[in-house]
Chain A
């Protein structure tokens, strides 16, 4: 049984809609954040880009195993002076000997920022940051080399006004300067 819908009252509906639109035009209720000028103060456990502590990492590959999108690959390294690693000689896939080890590199095009690797790491070698708004110009920047991956990510808009969002019964969402 299909029901025949009655046409709505042609006059009052239009007048109501126009009046409501005009009301919003005169008293705008703006919810958009003026993004690069003001940015949100992020909650403490916000998951942003992360890098790894070269000295702490033991090369156990558990992060590679747990990574859901398979974004982490382990690169062969050799432990040098002072605990820092140097790249393994070219052509060798597996470095033999007591000084051989591996280090993780993240492909940012694949990473879903689930932080399973950070959680699973037995020595807490990953260094999480809250930087989330980086842009990559080239395809190769998505897949950094290990040396590039070690550099901590820089926050792009450091001088922006920090705000926090607040639920507002009248307006829906409002922004206040962060304490």
Chain B
């Protein structure tokens, strides 16, 4: 490879991380989805929702106003906290949630420095690291509410990680690859994953709700019991980062869901190595699909109450684990009879 194409690739990779589908897109999507979540819950619960910031467009700028407010608030670090962990943990949590995006391709021709045949494994490994920092936050805060929140996070983490991995493993068995691009190409030539293995899709959805703390698994952040859960002691931008991290995770998970189960860039099958046809057009399709998945998941807030911790852990070890094992068996059966 000559020096000029290499530089072009590097520029494209940088734009991939920073603009699309990286940080800027994340900011836009998160701002919109927080507004949408509050608006949907308000509609179902007979209220107006956010209204007075930019009334003409239904208060859509409310989340941006909140972000501005967080940026200019005073940072308060309590005396008895473990200071380094207290300061670093939310940032690292956000960073790992964002870095996982590098290994989630949104088009048939993407490269972050090198094409990888193990993107599914890498992205899962990075996503699974994030809850460790949540537990660090709870430990460092020196606050009983944060600590109880961290313990609950730990319980739930252990009970829902195995079904999550098993549901992805069952898709890996069907597509016979560890690469998202190959997985999508398999779906384009046959059927989308949600029809091939609906059990795995259902498990994945439940685990997505759990990991990102949406209702009915809003247990670590139960505001009627634990004030603000893990982030009780945080203020200003730290709190904003902590509040945004579950939404970034939700974005990542929704991208993975739309790649593995909804056929990725499905109606768009043109195979041209070009930044526009190889990344932007299919990328927009994938992001729109992910956004629809996110909208469905935030809609659950309007419907469900919160599970108790023991109920959530019990259903994790019973129904969800059973579903994921069944999904693996289904995949094995399909591979034996279809191929």
Which residues from chain A sit less than 8 Å from chain B, CB to CB? Answer: 10, 17-18, 20-22, 24-25, 28-32, 34
A32 touching B44, Cβ below 8 Å: no
Q: Is B307 an interface residue (CB 8 A)?
A: no
Interchain CB contact under 8 A, B304 and A28: no
CA distance A87 to B299 in the complex (A): 63
Which residues of B have CB within 8 Å of A29?
46
Flag if B48 contacts A21 (CB, 8 Å): no
Chain B window 42-63, contacts with chain A (Cβ cutoff 8 Å), 1 for yes, 0 for no: 0110111001000000000000
Tell me the residues in window 21-61 of chain B with beta carbons closer than 8 Å to chain A beta carbons. 40, 43-44, 46-48, 51
B interface residues with partner A (beta carbon < 8 Å): 40, 43-44, 46-48, 51, 299-300, 302-304, 319
The A interface is mostly helix, strand or loop, or mixed, namely: helix
Are A30 and B47 closer than 8 Å at their CB atoms? yes
Whether A32 lies near B302 (C-beta < 8 A) is: no
The answer to whether residues A25 and B40 also contact, given A17-B303, A17-B304, A18-B303 and a CB cut-off of 8 A, is: yes
Judged by DSSP, the binding face of B is helix
Q: A17-B303, A25-B299 in contact; A30/B46 too (CB < 8 A)?
A: yes
Residue of B with least CB distance to A21: B303
Closest to A29 in B: B46
Shortest Cβ distance from A35 into B: residue: B48
In the A-B complex, the 10 residue pairs with the closest CB atoms: A21-B303, A24-B44, A31-B46, A28-B43, A32-B47, A17-B303, A32-B48, A21-B44, A21-B302, A25-B44
A–B pairs, 28, beta carbons within 8 Å: A10-B319, A17-B303, A17-B304, A18-B300, A18-B303, A20-B303, A21-B299, A21-B302, A21-B303, A22-B299, A24-B43, A24-B44, A24-B46, A25-B44, A25-B299, A28-B43, A28-B44, A28-B46, A29-B46, A30-B43, A30-B47, A30-B48, A31-B46, A31-B47, A32-B47, A32-B48, A34-B48, A34-B51
Which has the most chain A C-beta neighbours within 10 Å: B40, B48, B303? B303
A29 to B44, CA, bound (A): 8
A10 to B319, CA, bound (A): 10
A25 contacts which chain B residues (CB < 8 A)? 40, 43-44, 299, 302
Closest to B45 in A: A24
Contacts of B40 in A (CB 8 A): 25
Counting chain B CB atoms within 10 Å of each CB, the highest count among A10, A17, A24 belongs to A24
